[in-house]
Amino acid sequence: MLGAIIGDIVGSVYEWDNVRRKDFDPLFHPKAFYTDDSICTVAVADALVNQRHPGESLKYWGRRYWENGGWGGMFSRWLLSDSLEPYNSYGNGAAMRVSPAGLLATSEDEAIQLAHHVTEVTHNHPEGMKGGAATALAIYLARAGLDADSIRAAVTKQFGYHLDRTPDDIRPTYRFNESSQETVPQALVCALTATDFEDAIRNAISIGGDSDTVAAIAGGVAEALFGIPEEIAQKGWAYLSDDMRIMLQALYRQPGVRWAGVVR
């Protein structure tokens, strides 16, 4: 979960000003900030840990931090409405917030089930559901100790994503796209071809596009694959409000969920 949040923070300044290289410095830009990606990730954790309706949790956290989010048009209208009905979105918002489901799952089936549970309240289009479930499954499999090649094969078999690429293959032609189908596979490639957590985040930023969301998705998977170096974990932690930190602590105290700062 913290891995997704760190990806969001690092990518926040590059969403509309892509850098398209890995050697940007420093990792955390002085103007970096958390966005709606982090807020929604905290909301999903709250829903799963405290057994809240995911829609109600998203509305609570989204309204609480309304001024901090760069909300998409349809989601913002849903967020401010009284309705809990989904709106058939196939955007990448489901995958960027789903990491708590992958961290809390105790089986492949449960990873997909939990992902569907927190996704269908808004992103009930088949592509939105697919993106959330694929991301959660990748996180679960990484937690279970599978290597990148095995995760790639399992996700491809289950969801049909073309993951046999590298960031170098993607970078030349990739452009900004907020759809799940044009964000999730690219983000998974960035994580599954990385050598460590930071490398995954740098891969994600380097391909351009919707940088904060690509890096949030990649960061959630990379956390489960590699752990997060303590220095990076503490820097990401420092950006968050007290109630966000409390929610992260509550998730990491759940059985089987390891604190993200421990490097595997």
**23 assigned to a ligand binding site:** no
**212 assigned to a ligand binding site:** yes
Residue type, 99: S
Give the per-residue SS3 of the chain: CHHHHHHHHHHCCCCCCCCCCCCCCCCCCCCCCCCHHHHHHHHHHHHHHCCCCHHHHHHHHHHHCHHHCCCCHHHHHHHHCCCCCCCCCCECHHHHHCHHHHHHCCCHHHHHHHHHHHHCCCCCCHHHHHHHHHHHHHHHHHHCCCCHHHHHHHHHHHHCCCCCCCHHHHCCCCCCCCECCCCHHHHHHHHHCCCCHHHHHHHHHHCCCCHHHHHHHHHHHHHHHHCCCHHHHHHHHHCCCHHHHHHHHHHHCCCCCCCCCCCC
First-residue to last-residue Cα distance in the chain: 16
**210 assigned to a ligand binding site:** yes
The b-or-e profile of 100-117 (16+ CB within 10 A means b, else e) is bbbbbbeeeebbbebbbb
User: Which residues are documented as binding site?
Assistant: 210, 212-213
Where is the binding site for Mg(2+), in residues?
Answer: 210, 212-213
